[in-house]
Amino acid sequence: MITSNAIRLAVAADAAAIALMSRHLIEHGLPWGWDGQRVAQAILAPHINVAVTGPRGAPVGFGIMAYHDDDAHLVLFAVQPARQRQGLGKALLDWLEAAARVAGAERIRVEARRENLAARIFYNELGYHERMISKAMYNGQVDGVRLEKWLRVHDVSASGAAS
Ligand SMILES: CC(C)(COP(=O)(O)OP(=O)(O)OC[C@H]1O[C@@H](n2cnc3c(N)ncnc32)[C@H](O)[C@@H]1OP(=O)(O)O)[C@@H](O)C(=O)NCCC(=O)NCCS
């Protein structure tokens, strides 16, 4: 059983393994943007949470979420293939969403490759809806889909809409 205790904030020793997961599970066929150094910087950044599950130095799943003024952005997210479909992704995302709520985020944004049906179904199942398809979103090569999940009711009157 996955408990919230199974999720923890990443430490520097996790950076290399997270970067390799990104390389193989997310950035395959594209330039390697999230190398170990960039992940290590994210771990230290005050406006970013890097959540992991698994042993120190050898995480089996991770999520990187950045917090902005009113919303949060799920930047990278993956679970190792041998550990997929065991609820780890949901546990990680629940943890990151709880942190986003505490931080005051109204919504969470995330992107996935258009052809990545597993990720699209995963996010759909967890309440994310698809806003648009973006052609050549990744490195001018690969189409993407943009998704979002509202965490609380959006107050349209506050944004100047006529009543
Ligand atoms: C997308 C991903 C993170 C899901 O992680 P996971 O740990 O397997 O997800 P969970 O076990 O928590 O799945 C929760 C639900 O999502 C849906 N789901 C997850 N993977 C699915 C798949 N391959 N096909 C269909 N539905 C899927 C199911 O409804 C699942 O519930 P169920 O297993 O009870 O049917 C994982 O497949 C992954 O790491 N993929 C490669 C990297 C990636 O695509 N990252 C996201 C885009 S950056």
Q: What is the DSSP secondary structure assignment for residue 154, as one 8-state letter? A: -
Q: Does pLDDT of 22 surpass 50?
A: yes
Q: Which atom of ligand 1 is nearest to the CA of 26?
A: 42
Alpha carbon nearest to ligand 1 atom 5, residue: 89
Task: Give me the domains of the chain, ranges plus CATH numbers.
Answer: 4-159 (3.40.630.30)
Verify whether ligand 1 is closer than 6 Å to residue 30 (CB atom): no
Verify whether ligand 1 is closer than 6 Å to residue 34 (CB atom): no
Spell out the residues 6+ positions from residue 92 whose beta carbon is closer than 8 angstroms to its own.
Answer: 7, 51, 52, 53, 61, 62, 63, 77, 79
Q: Judge whether 18 and 37 are in contact, CB under 8 Å.
A: no
Verify whether ligand 1 is closer than 6 Å to residue 96 (CB atom): no
Backbone phi, then psi, for 83, in 5-degree steps? -110, 10
Q: pLDDT exceeding 70 applies to what percent of the chain?
A: 91
- At residue 161, the pLDDT reads 47
Q: Does pLDDT of 160 surpass 80?
A: no
Span 87-107, pLDDT tens digits: 999 999 999 999 999 999 999
CA dist., res. 68 & res. 155, Å (int):
18
Verify whether ligand 1 is closer than 6 Å to residue 77 (CB atom): yes
Neighbours of 94 (CB within 10 A): 15
